[in-house]
Amino acid sequence: MVRALLVAIAFIAALNPVQALAELRGERVEFDLGPEAYSRGMSLYMQYCVACHGLEYFRGPDAPDGIAPGLDPESAQAAFGVAPPDLTLMASARGKGLEGAEYIYNLLTAYYIADGEIRNRAFAEETHTEGAIAMPPPIPMDDPELPEKARDIAVFLYLVSEPSLEDRRSLGPWVLAYMALLTAVLYALNRYTWKEQKRKLRG
């Protein structure tokens, strides 16, 4: 019984998924949630997004008070007609689990022009409109590295919106090991107690 528990723990620890697959319109996009992708995503964010979008509620070693946007929201609103939203919680706001990351990936890669207007397929679906969007394509559509860049930025924003995800994951196996140990001790104690009782009864 204890052995079965230990096997279960080893199994769950091995599952610890750093890679996560998401289905995007039949196309499989693999989100690598590891620390390298996170830090690549963060530098890409600082390169391509921070001019307009802040991460006001983000807390990191380099950013104890969050990240302010380059442009103040009023000037940005004057320039684009819509104030660029803060992105700290955007990935959670646009879907459960990895859906928010998928959305950001789609948004960055789904621009097109129609009727002389900048449009976005992902934004169209999200807002149930034609998809006219006030954000110009942050990464040029012809950048050959667009898919990788979009993926890393999506991962970064996903982890920003779910800051305790990694902690919860690394804690899991320890909690299970603790429970297993407790179970073993209680089992032994139970046997010992009853053995005493039975011995007394037999008298």
Binding residues for ligand HEC (CB under 6 A):
48-49, 51-53, 80, 82, 84-85, 87, 90, 104, 107-108, 123, 126, 133-136, 138-139, 153
Residue closer to ligand HEC, measured from CB, 13 or 132: 132
DSSP H or E run through 111: strand 111-114
- Token pair recorded at residue 66: 């969050």
Phi, psi angle pair for 88, to nearest 5°: -55, -45
Of 139 and 155, nearer to ligand HEC (C-beta) is 139
Q: Which residue is nearest to ligand HEC (CB)?
A: 49
Nearer to ligand HEC, 9 or 149 (CB): 149
Alpha helices in the chain (DSSP H): 2-15, 35-48, 73-80, 90-93, 99-109, 121-127, 146-161, 165-202
- Rank residues 112 and 178 by Cβ distance to ligand HEC and give the closer one: 112
Q: Which is nearer to ligand HEC, 102 or 176 (CB)?
A: 102
Other Cβ atoms closer than 10 A to 158 = 28
CA angle 75, 76, 82 (to 5 degrees): 125
The letter for the amino acid at 108 is: L
Q: Are 70 and 54 in contact (CB under 8 A)?
A: no
The nearer residue to ligand HEC, 85 or 97, going by C-beta atoms, is: 85
CA atoms within 13 Å, Cβ hemisphere of 28? 5
Q: Are 80 and 135 in contact (CB under 8 A)?
A: yes
User: Least distance to ligand HEC from the beta carbon of 4, Å?
Assistant: 46
